[in-house]
Amino acid sequence: MSDGLVPTGDGHTELDEDERHDLIPTYIATRRELFDAEQRNITKALLRARPTADRLLDDKYLRDLHRWMFGDVWSWAGRYRIRETNIGVEPALIATGVRTLVADTRAWIELTTYPIDEIGARFHHRLVAVHPFVNGNGRHGRIAADLLLTALGQEPFSWGSGSAVDTDRLRRAYREALVAADHDDLHLLLAFVRS
């Protein structure tokens, strides 16, 4: 699975010592090697049985999903971050944020508050806004949203893959859609996820 929203650069840039500290494979030295290892791990995770919506909408399942996606590469995979970042909620609020999100999403489904695509987009946006993990939040959030849609009988989102644009423009459109969603305007995100 290739993710057009993940920048790979030229692939030759070496990882610094801080970046390599929590890596499990000792051979990884460049961003290309890291990206390839993560992609192999994600591909393996996607071979697992598809969850029901009930199973997916659980904070432990979401942590397990992250661990399945990145656990062969990073020692912190599947564990909520414990450090402040420039995005996301403070670490002490992560577990509550994720639990509130899954409870809200369950209610949206049960009460048919929104169309299914909007439920998927809102779920994704809120999950990445919490930013529960050190890294991999966007990929984790996109896969979790796709699994939710599939469990609800919908096709997964295309995440802009139908657009004939370069990766930088695709990422910019994705970020702009998330920023608009931060202000409760989901129009850009809803258009992007099906483009």
Walk along the chain (195 residues) in steps of 10 and give the mean pLDDT of each run: 54 77 93 95 96 98 98 98 96 99 99 98 99 97 98 97 80 96 98 96
Q: What is the DSSP string of 83-140?
A: S--SSS--GGGHHHHHHHHHHHHHHHHHTT-S-HHHHHHHHHHHHHHH--SSS-HHHH
What are the domain boundaries of the chain? 17-157
Q: What pLDDT sits at residue 3?
A: 60
17-157: CATH topology: Fic-like fold (1.10.3290)
Within a 13 Å sphere around the CA of 118, how many CA atoms are in the beta-carbon half? 10
- The answer to whether 43 and 73 are in contact (CB under 8 A) is no
Distance CA 25, CA 73 (A): 6
Q: What pLDDT sits at residue 26?
A: 93
For 23, phi then psi, to 5°, come to -75, 140
Which DSSP state fits 34?
H
- The answer to whether 28 and 76 are in contact (CB under 8 A) is no
